[in-house]
Amino acid sequence: MRLRRELSRTLSRTMNADFQDFKHTELTEKVIKIFYNVYNKPGCGFLEKIYENVLMIELRKEGIEVLIMKKIICVYQRKSAA
């Protein structure tokens, strides 16, 4: 029983993001903050492309290098899915 409690405590600590040492924490926090600002400013009801363009403007304004809809290769059952 004691071992189970100890294991549970250890797992809950490692699963909690607050105890993780992420590589790009500062960048991640900045991107999330920008995302929520973009989400809240124009309001709802716009096409996805509008939000995408506004997000790119804000990210670049903060000095974050971004690419819009970069082409990727995606194959599903030997057929192009991209």
The average pLDDT across 30-54 equals 88
Decide which of 64 and 70 is more confident: 64
The tens digit of pLDDT for each residue in 25-35 reads 889 899 999 99
Q: What percent of the chain stands above pLDDT 90?
A: 29
Q: Band of the pLDDT at 2, cuts 50, 70, 90?
A: low
Whether pLDDT at 82 is above 60: yes
pTM over 0.75: no
Q: C-alpha angle 17/21/22, rounded to 5°?
A: 80
Q: How far is CA 1 from the centre of its chain?
A: 38
The average pLDDT across 9-25 equals 63
